[in-house]
Amino acid sequence: MGLVLEFDVKNNILRGTLQGPVTDTLLLAYHEMGVNFTASHPPCRGIWDLSHVTDFTVSGAGIPELAARPSIIAAGYVRVIVAPLDLLFGMARMFQLLSDDTRPELQVVRTMDEAYRLLSVETPEFSPVS
């Protein structure tokens, strides 16, 4: 459980899949992991997949705090949050609205297929990153 980071070299996409319960502390730790990865790699596009989240107990202050932090994905590169459940979709939209000035390329969708269409990806080839 936790966060699985994968990279698709062919399509230049970092995908973070959150699994299990998510709290404020975990969400901020996952963000830091993404920032650390992208700091040592060339700019890329990104997907945050919330499809495997089983419990989301992030506080009302957690989303604004996350939105105030530096973006994982560099400006000019599309990033997508996949949030199939209503609660997660609503929280992702709140994050999108709060960070619209710093993350204008952010999109929130319900399915991974929608994310791949937005990124014009037909056959993703993700491999785990350490």
- The string of pLDDT tens digits covering residues 34-64 is 999 999 999 999 999 999 999 999 998 999 9
| Domains of the chain (ranges, CATH numbers) | 2-124 (3.30.750.24)
Secondary structure of residue 80 in the 3-state scheme:
strand
Across all residues in the chain, what is the average pLDDT?
Answer: 95
CA separation for the pair 62, 60 (Å, rounded): 6
Amino acid in position 15: R
Q: Is the pLDDT of residue 76 over 80?
A: yes
Residue 130 has pLDDT above 90, yes or no: no
**For residue 103, how far is the Cα from the chain centroid?**
12
DSSP annotation of 55 reads E
Q: Note the pLDDT of residue 1.
A: 63
80-95 pLDDT, tens digit per residue, is: 999 999 999 999 999 9
Residue 121 has pLDDT above 80, yes or no: yes
Mapped onto helix, strand or coil, the DSSP state of residue 118 is helix
